[in-house]
Amino acid sequence: PLPRDLMRDNYVLKATPAATTEPRLWLLGSSMYSARLAAAKGLPYVFAHHFAGQGTEEAMQFYRDNFQPSETTPEPVTFLTVNAAVAETYDEAVR
């Protein structure tokens, strides 16, 4: 059982979403397969560079060159995810 201070009855706020639109569907991938699928389906494409670390440029270019417009996405939309370290100095960042 949950500790008494974590029980639901102890909370006044009951968060409920009040969305006015549906969330946008994106296709996350890290290969040419996902680029092909996103382009063919007319979906926004997120390339997970932090997973694969290679093939990024080719996959993104393929997606843009072969994109088929859809009702929700009339033109190619891309997003790139990367690993990043930020610090005041280079030495601190690579630690």
Secondary structure (3-state) at 57? helix
| Residue 93 CB partners (closer than 8 Å, separation 6+) | 85, 86, 87
pLDDT of residue 80: 95
Q: Dihedral sign, CA of 29, 44, 55, 32?
A: positive
The sign of the dihedral angle between the CA atoms of 61, 66, 70, 75 is positive
Cα separation of 81 and 79, whole Å? 7
Work out the mean pLDDT of the chain and round it to a whole number.
88
Is 0.75 topped by the overall pTM? no
**Distances 49 to 3, 7, 13 between C-alpha atoms, Å:** 41, 41, 39
Positions of E strands within the chain = 27-29, 45-48, 78-81
pLDDT band, very low/low/confident/very high, at 5 (cuts 50, 70, 90):
low
